[in-house]
Amino acid sequence: MWIVLIGPPGAGKGTQAELLLEYLGVPHLSTGDMLRTAVKSQSSAGLMADEYMSKGQLVPDPIILQMVGERLERPDCAKGVLFDGFPRTLGQAQSLDATLEGRGTPLQVALELRVPDEVCLARMKDRKRPDDRNDVIARRLEDFHRRTQPLVDYYRRRGMLESVDGLGTTHEVFTRIRAALDRRRADSASP
Ligand code: AMP
């Protein structure tokens, strides 16, 4: 299955992605994880990305698209991918659609995890990531609303959107996600 996970920082995307991977049996493509690895290895893309990430800003589309494009070439991405934290801009979404359509494996579902800002802020304050400093957290949420939220409408118009309430226990949220995906699969299987 080809699926993107959309939600504000602190919405629990990473936790739900882990459960989903087991359920769907597809690889996990988290641009945040890939960037953190690149930063650690001090590769040229990593050094460039770090300048943006440490300020809570989005890394420019060309760096992200190059990284994702290379990852999609690997054989484990033949049958599906769970995209997590990508796409985050309309440009990234359009580019992903063009790439996947060109391969004959179009995106099937955009799964939106809905969580209010105040809950995301509280959750991010509990994490210990270097980009979870107070000043940076607010910036990342603001960027989400300004640049990533428009993707919800983009996918809704294309008939790909599933919105799920992200409040509750991990298990409760996962049960909702699974129900939404099962419904999608049943719909796409029916004539
Ligand atoms: P995440 O782990 O998904 O919250 O990403 C951590 C940080 O990496 C973000 O705050 C951005 O600076 C950067 N990042 C991750 N994915 C993307 C993306 N698709 N586009 C631009 N920047 C990204």
47, 50, 53: residue to mutate for ligand 1 pocket, most atoms within 8 A of CB: 53
pLDDT surpassing 70 at residue 191: no
With a 6 A CB cut-off, is 31 part of the ligand 1 pocket?
Answer: yes
Q: Encoding tokens for residue 91?
A: 């440009």
* Ligand 1 pocket member 85 (CB < 6 A): yes
Task: Sheet with 81-84: list strands edge to edge.
Answer: 28-30, 81-84, 2-6, 109-114, 161-165
Largest CA distance in the chain: 51
pLDDT classification of 20: cutoffs 50, 70, 90: very high
State in Å, rounded, how far the first CA of the chain is from the last one.
19
Residue 132 CB–ligand 1 contact under 6 Å: no
- Closest atom of ligand 1 to 88 CA is 19
Summarised one tens digit per residue, pLDDT across range 138-167 is: 899 999 999 999 999 999 999 999 999 999
Prediction pTM value: 0.93
Quick check: 145 and 69 in contact, CB under 8 A?
no
pLDDT in tens, 108-134: 999 999 999 999 999 988 887 777 788
Residue with CA at minimum distance from ligand 1 atom 11 = 58
Residue 70 burial (C-beta neighbours within 10 Å; 0-12, 13-18, 19+):
exposed
**Alpha carbon of 140 to those of 42, 51, 180: distances in Å?**
23, 14, 27
Nearest residue CA, atom 2 of ligand 1? 32
Stretch 26-50: mean pLDDT:
96
Neighbours of 166 (CB within 10 A): 23
- What is the 61 CA–ligand 1 centroid distance (Å)? 11
What ligand 1 atom has the least distance to the C-alpha of 57? Answer: 12
